[in-house]
Amino acid sequence: MCITTKSYLKNCGSSLGHHYIVEIYGCKNIEVLNDLEFIRSMMIEAAYRCGSTIIGNVFHQFEPVGITGVVAISESHLSIHTWPEYAYAAIDVFTCGTTVDPDLAISYIVETLNGIPLTMKIDRGMPLLF
């Protein structure tokens, strides 16, 4: 859980959380980008693999194609938005604390969708260090 106290920051390093934005281009598994249950299962598995505590999930199938979804975790969230017509998926992995390894979730998703990732990392809450 994200806690905004100085003792938390002392134990967790220089930020409150880490937010990864992952662009996955050229997904080879195009058909799964429009398979709601596959995407839901993949995202839940990614949350388990990184060591997070799942507290809920919501996914939606768009017409004619595409999926959006989020797995809420005690440590923040994992989300996905797919565009099968472009063989593209946008992923967010935002984690707080020291017990979760977001790289494990990201690696699993990228391998499963079999695409080319571009990953950006933002350390969240750094201005709160006073």
| Digit-coded pLDDT (tens) for 91-109 | 999 999 889 999 999 999 9
- Helix, strand or coil, per DSSP, at residue 90: strand
The length of the chain, given as a count of residues: 130
- Reported as a pLDDT band with limits 50, 70 and 90, residue 128 is low
List the catalytic residue out of 18, 76, 77, 79: 76
All structural domains of the chain with their residue ranges:
17-124
Indicate the pTM of the whole model: 0.86
Nearest to 51 by CA among 105, 108, 100, 106: 100
Q: Which of 12, 74, 81, 107 is catalytic?
A: 81
6-64 tens-digit pLDDT: 444 444 557 889 999 999 999 998 999 999 999 999 999 999 999 999 999 999 999 99
Evaluate if residue 2 carries a pLDDT over 50: no
**Residue 3 pLDDT exceeds 80:** no
60 catalytically annotated: no
Q: Is 96 an annotated catalytic residue? A: yes
- Does the domain spanning 17-124 belong to CATH 3.40.50.720? no
Clarify whether 76 is annotated catalytic.
yes
